[in-house]
Amino acid sequence: MTFKTKYISFVILLLTISLTANAQQGEVNVTQDSDIDKLLEFKKDIKTSKVYRIQVYQSVDPDKAQREKANFLNSYGEWPAEVVWNTPNYKVWVGNFSTRLEADRAWVKIKKKYMSAIVFQPKSDKK
Strand runs (DSSP E) across 15-99, as ranges?
52-59, 81-86, 89-97
For the sheet containing 81-86, what is the strand order? 81-86, 89-97, 52-59, 118-120
What pLDDT is recorded for position 16?
75
Topology (CATH) of 53-120: Alpha-Beta Plaits (3.30.70)
The model's pLDDT over 78-92, given as tens digits with 9 standing for 90+, comes to: 999 999 998 899 999
- CA angle at residue 94 from 91 to 98, to 5 degrees? 130
User: Rounded to an integer, what distance in angstroms lies between the CA atom of residue 110 and that of residue 94?
Assistant: 10
Tens-digit pLDDT string for the chain (127 aa): 688 888 888 888 777 776 665 666 788 888 888 888 888 777 766 655 689 999 999 999 999 999 999 999 999 999 999 999 988 999 999 999 999 999 999 999 999 999 999 999 998 644 4
CB 55 within 8 Å of CB 91 = yes
